[in-house]
Amino acid sequence: LYSKKLTTYGSKPSISLEFFPPKTKTGLDNLIKRIERLTIAVQPIFITITYSQLNNKKTLDLLEMIIKNNNDVFKNVNICCHLTCTNSSYQVINETLDKCLELGIKNILALRGDSVENDTNNNTDFRYAVDLVRYIKKRHGDDFCIGVAAYPEGHYNNEYNSNTNSYISSQSFREDLVYLKEKLQAGASFIITQLFYNVDKFLQFYNEYKSIIPDYKKYLMIPGIMPINNFMIFNRATKLAHVDIPKHIIDRFPIDIRNDDDQVRNIGVNIMVEIIERIYEKTNHEVNVFHFYTLNLEKSIAQIISKSTLLSQILEDSDSDESDSSYEDAV
């Protein structure tokens, strides 16, 4: 089988990579080659593929292509399928889980998802991610290793409350931690966080997480890292995710270079290396796996790994034949 459970990961610093299914066939072909190149160059411990409730076939098609098209490249990589449940029926969830099992996928990131415009489904089978975690456990026992999302700066809740005709407002990270604990108690084993650039906020979240979850070492906490490739996208992504950009980070992008993607990326690479290394140090190496929101781009990931003394160890320690290949060659 191509996919092992993530609970079998080792204790050395590692990374994971997230991709989303492209819209076109050409995009799909290009992405497969890119995933292959990146997998050889940076050896992620797992790859995740995002899921869209209205277009879930694209996720399954991409997963199938990765698994069936390939030779040896993916043999040591675990695959994780995102799965959202809001407005979804048991039937759709069952079909997706069955397809994952058929493909040998053992890892599911169980999410609530967000309400989608023009969605005519009115299913109430699931309300929160915890309902999906419980459902997977009930239907499949330990067949899957389940991950869940967490929000170091709190979750901006855009759930609509039809009684008050308004959106339920954002939750503080403390309120959200209660529900994170519920998801872990329901059977989740790993956590991937929302992207963030404020390490102090992540550390505060992590310390409070540890204080309410005494057996926290049982779970893998993976910070979500989004490389900065383009200033406008960086700005937009942080607004969409409702996360802070600390002043000391914004100040590193003088206005006159903000349209120059190469300069922005180079500065962004240094920032991400600092963020990753600070988290590793300040958590006494407890946090040692980093999840990259790749946006389907490869260059900055390779640069971050080659610039980071910590992450470069991934390749130095590797037994793989591919460990000699240069990251820069791969992009």
Pairing of strands 160-161, 166-167: antiparallel
Please report which helix (H) or strand (E) contains residue 221, including its range: strand 220-225
d(CA 200, CA 99): 40
Closest approach, Cβ 195 to ligand FAD, in A, equals 8
d(CA 58, CA 56): 5
Please report which helix (H) or strand (E) contains residue 47, including its range: strand 46-49
| Contact between 111 and 151 (Cβ < 8 Å) | no
d(CA 49, CA 80): 7
Residue whose CB is less far from ligand FAD, 50 or 89: 50
Candidate list 4, 134, 155, 265; residue touching ligand FAD; CB under 6 A: 155
Is 112 an interacting residue with respect to ligand FAD (CB under 6 A)? yes
Stretch that binds ligand FAD, among 36-44, 109-117, 242-250, 301-309 (CB under 6 A): 109-117
Residue whose CB is less far from ligand FAD, 4 or 82: 82
Closest approach, Cβ 311 to ligand FAD, in A, equals 19
Is 93 an interacting residue with respect to ligand FAD (CB under 6 A)? no
Residue whose CB is less far from ligand FAD, 8 or 55: 55
d(CA 80, CA 147): 9
Is 108 an interacting residue with respect to ligand FAD (CB under 6 A)? no
Nearest to 17 by CA among 45, 51, 37: 45
- Classify residue 263 as exposed, middle or buried by CB count within 10 Å of its CB (0-12, 13-18, 19+): middle
Q: Is 274 a catalytic residue?
A: no
Q: What is the CA 245 to chain-centroid distance, rounded?
A: 19
Q: Total residues contacting ligand FAD (rule CB under 6 A)?
A: 23
* Side-chain-side CA neighbours of residue 130 (13 Å): 12
Candidate list 189, 194, 229, 300; residue touching ligand FAD; CB under 6 A: 194
Closest approach, Cβ 50 to ligand FAD, in A, equals 3
| Contact between 112 and 85 (Cβ < 8 Å) | yes
d(CA 200, CA 223): 13
Please report which helix (H) or strand (E) contains residue 290, including its range: strand 289-293
Stretch that binds ligand FAD, among 49-57, 245-253, 257-265, 320-328 (CB under 6 A): 49-57
**118-147 mask for ligand FAD (x: CB under 6 A)?**
----------xxx-----------------
Is 296 an interacting residue with respect to ligand FAD (CB under 6 A)? no
Closest approach, Cβ 194 to ligand FAD, in A, equals 4
Is 84 an interacting residue with respect to ligand FAD (CB under 6 A)? yes
Report the chain's terminal Cα–Cα distance, integer Å.
29
Candidate list 66, 192, 271, 279; residue touching ligand FAD; CB under 6 A: 192
Structure tokens at 297: 């781009």
Closest approach, Cβ 51 to ligand FAD, in A, equals 4
Residue whose CB is less far from ligand FAD, 39 or 193: 193
CA distances from 123 to 58, 81, 127 (A): 21, 22, 9
Is 102 an interacting residue with respect to ligand FAD (CB under 6 A)? no
Residue whose CB is less far from ligand FAD, 188 or 267: 188
Active site positions, annotated? 18
Residues that bind ligand FAD (CB under 6 A): 50-52, 82, 84, 109, 111-114, 128-130, 149, 155, 157, 171, 175-176, 179, 192, 194, 224
